[in-house]
Structure 1
Amino acid sequence: MTIHAGQLVMVDLPGPTLDDDTAQYLQDHHIRSVCLFGKNVENETQLRALCHELRRVMGPHALIAIDHEGGAILRTPFWPAPPSAMALGAADDPALTRDVHHALARQLRSVGINWNFAPVMDVNVQSENPVIGVRAFGADPALVTRHALAAVDGQTAEGVASCVKHFPGHGDTRQDSHLALPRVERSREELETTEFAPFRAAAQAGVPAFMTAHIVYPALDAQHPATLSRAILTGLLRAEWGYDGVIVTDSMGMRAIDDHYGRGEAAVLSLAAGADLVMALGRRDAQLATLQSVTAAIQDGTLPHDALRSSVTRLETLARTFPAHAAPDARHGSDPALFRTAWARGLTTVGPATPPAPGSAVTLVARREEARENVSEAGLPARALARTLASLYDLQTFEYDDAHTLDWDALRAEGRTVLLATAGRHRQAGLHGARPHLHLCLYNAYSVLDVDAPALVSYGTPPEALGAVTGWLRGETPATAHLPYDRHRPGETTAEKRPRPPST
């Protein structure tokens, strides 16, 4: 078997169509795997045509991947939005999670996408985690395990390969690996009971794929992040846990890798560590550097042929098991109702939260703009949320930004119900000592820790989630779920108790 570097490399595309130059590039380098992003997506018809062209160019072993987690992590605004993982964890009904992921996979299969980089299997034990948060099902390993495996079952049943991430766990970090190289300073025993538990169960269940984390775990490998660590990918995942599915890296363009290694060097290290597929995203020159380094390592024996043949076989098996054929499904039409129900099932109240009476005088306090921060949901600007609530109340709106210091005593003294809406966690002066009558926590569920007030938590702001929120405000939709973390001890992990080393 002749092995080409392109068989071991995943790339992204420059736009929404497969231009002749890119098609030739894929063929010349024997590339069989691509990851799609928002820049590649315009509408359903266009996306189906793009996937058809990709399969024609890359052949029957084409792997067409996307991040379609639900909640904030969606590239397809033309489809109804599935709930975030934490909304499903709050509802804690694995059957509902399975049904949602059946539908989520049907969306992808209808256009020919055969690989979904979901579900997130991280145990979010760090309340200040800047990148996982509501992308995780919760802070309890058992809860995360049952929901993540239900999600895998739902996607598998619909013919879409799932990929659990970010192994061996991104839930106990205060840094985002898109921007820095985090460390998790936990002992092996602590990792066994928390981060490892869901991933070990996934390995035993034979899930289709694992995605690696760009994080250093000194208890496992003091030198290399997991993506580049043979002790973690081969020693732990392959040898100890017996996993023989596909291992794909997270994007090698993230600064956790890009700031510390050359693209080519990192690609060779990851394949030598036991990864099957390197995600070489970004500029064409960075992709070519990866391909050239991997080619050289194949030719000089740095990467053993037996191991590479096993990787190619795993990838081809994945593509055969989950072919990239577009298959529209009549059940697609019932999915919007399912998603609306699922978002409503995740509604959570904290404290004695009650909605203002219909037609009453309400002051909405919200940020003028909610900027998207990397993978986080941007949230709604104050004016958009005001339009949503205007039909419910005698509404006035107070918009604030980082420059404002809010006078909560004065706001409450007006005799109106003060309703604070947040998306992210904003600890600037404006929210210091915030005392609204009701807090609408519309995205980051940990923002209830910053505001001393009764709260309603929705875990997201797409129209389906806002419909559930307004239903609760009208008294029509009950909030029956529970926070999937202990708000009295939200970040009290052993790792947090010991001093942290300087960031790398």
Structure 2
Amino acid sequence: MRLHRIYCVSAAACMLIVLVLGGCMTKHPSPSAPVTEPEVDPIATLVQSMSLPEKIGQMVVVGLDGTEVEPPIRSLIADSHVGGIILYGNNIVSATQTNKLVNDLKHLNQTAGAKLPLLISTDQEGGRVSRLPKEFPTFPSSKAVGRTKDADYAYQVGSSLGEAMSAVGLNTDFAPVLDVNTNPDNPVIGDRAFGSTAELVSSMGVQEMLGIQSQGVIPVVKHFPGHGDTSVDSHFGLPVVDHDLNRLRSVEFVPFRAAIEKGAPVVMVAHILMNKLDPNLPASMSRKVIQDLLRGELKFDGVVITDDMTMGAVGKVMPIGPASVHAVLAGADLILVGHVLTEQQAVLRALTTAVQNGDIPQSVIDKSVYRIVKLKQSYRLSDQPTPLGNLKKLNEHIKAALNHSS
């Protein structure tokens, strides 16, 4: 009875309570937001699947002796997992022989169970730095290309370089040279440069780079931060450059900045001592040059490769093993070791030991390997054999492209 009176006295309030409670009881819970699976990064997954020797191997590009696959290079590929090969003039006799050598290297890498195809490279600039087999036409020097001041012609030269490289199976060209030749007494650059002004080198060099790239060949711009005003050949000694940052930004950096803005995939760093930037270490081993300037100021996020670590400039500073560790800590992704098996083994050993000891953080190695994988995949590199192209037809096309009429 008491409850009934409470109901009658508070009918409106109770009805409100009933409605509210009823609403709460009959209201359907709002559907949960769908659970989104984190996006899988296939490159990161591949890097994580690799052993330390596989990762270190990917960061080393080596040369070989002879004109065919022999035990030392066989071991470097099958056992040390090296990720790249550089061919020099002594490795190249003819188009047929070069094509067979390239395909044999690819086959060896494939049968060894490598997770990634090989970078197979050479220095094919034109002029006095030409490695292509004798069956191909003679390519003009960069100076001769620059003299035309014809950017379209520079693109045609680059495209022809890429075609010739591809015909024998090479997939990486250490060209173009983006040094500004401001020192007429320079013993190593000279006619390898497009010219003596930053503007001319930028316009011609970038177009040649894009031409090489158009044929699916990886161009490597060099020699950062600028080898044009040196009086010592870094093959034999350590060049010293005294320019400050203001001068470098207005001259030497200009072509590299332009190439990076146009998508340069790889930059080669020189063995030159930049006194005003880092008086203690050559550019190839300097964090100030690679990390702060190339990656930081110029915003380059591609692959950084050192010049050949067996060059005399490196030996003037320290042994090749510690030098390679310095280069990786400075920001280099690829260490180029063009000659001498014991030197190549020393680099592989030094890098492995440095990671195991904690001197090189694992994260540094993983970032470099990530960039290397991304590069190889973006250019669709493959270890499938490359059939030798129709040289007669190709040469006719190249000669026509190289025939510049002013």
Q: What range describes the TM-score normalised by the shorter chain of this pair?
A: 0.7 to 0.9
Aligned to 2:295: 238
Secondary structure in structure 1 of the residue aligned to 2:86: strand
Deviations 1:295-334 (A, max 9, x none): 1011112111112111112112222233256365566132
Match of 1:3 among 52, 57, 60: 52
| Counterpart position of 1:119 | 176
Find the counterpart in structure 1 of residue 129 from structure 2: 73
The aligned counterpart of 1:217 is 274
- TM-score normalised by the chain length of structure 2: 0.82
> Aligned partners of 2:64, 2:298: CA distance in 1, in Å?
35
d(CA) in 2 for partners of 1:154, 1:327: 22
**Which of 217, 223, 230 is 1:166 aligned to?**
223
One-letter amino acid of the counterpart of residue 71, structure 1 = G
Relative distance call for 1:240 and 1:21 in structure 2 (3 A) is closer
Q: Which amino acid aligns with 1:28?
A: D
Say whether the 8 Å CA contact 1:125–1:172 is kept in structure 2. Answer: yes
Superposition deviation, residue 339 in structure 1: 5.8
- Whether the aligned pair in 1 keeps the contact of 2:72 and 2:341 (CA below 8 Å) is no
Partner of 2:399 in structure 1?
Answer: 337
2:64 to 9, 13, 31: 13
Q: Secondary structure at the match of 1:214?
A: coil
Provide the TM-score with structure 1 as the length reference. 0.66
TM-aligned CA deviation for residue 283 of structure 1: 1.3
Which of residues 253, 264, 267 is equivalent to 1:207? 264
CA distances 1:48-97 after superposition (whole Å, capped 9, x unpaired): 11111111222442100100001111123331111100001001101011
Give the Cα–Cα distance (whole angstroms) in 2 for the partners of residues 223 and 337 of structure 1.
Answer: 47
Cα distance per residue 1:119-145 (max 9 Å; x no partner): 000000000000000000001101100
Q: Which has the higher helix share?
A: 2
Aligned to 2:76: 25
Question: How many residues matched?
Answer: 344
Is 2:96–2:388's contact at 8 Å kept on the other side of the alignment? no
Aligned-residue CA RMSD (Å): 1.6
Unmatched 5+ stretches in structure 2: 1-47, 111-115
Instruction: Name the residue aligned to 1:260.
Output: 317
- Partner SS for 1:162: strand
Gaps of at least 5 residues in structure 1 are: 346-479, 481-504
Give yes or no for contact 2:156–2:401 (8 Å, CA) kept in 1: no
Partner residue, 1:497: none
Partner of 2:143 in structure 1? 86
Partner of 1:198, secondary structure, is helix
Where has structure 1 moved over 4 Å in runs of 4 or more? 327-331
- Tell me which of 316, 335, 343 is aligned to 2:373: 316
Q: Is the 8 A contact 2:295 2:301 kept in 1?
A: yes
Residue 35 of structure 1: aligned partner: 86
Q: Which residue of 2 aligns with 1:109?
A: 166
Q: Contact 2:166–2:217 at 8 Å: present in 1 too?
A: yes
What corresponds to 1:133 in structure 2? 190
State the alpha-carbon separation in 1 of the partners of residues 273 and 314 from structure 2.
11
The answer to whether the 8 A contact 2:305-2:336 is kept is: yes
Mean Cα deviation higher: 2-11 or 285-294: 2-11
SS in 2 for 1:148: helix
| 1:277 aligned partner, one-letter code | L
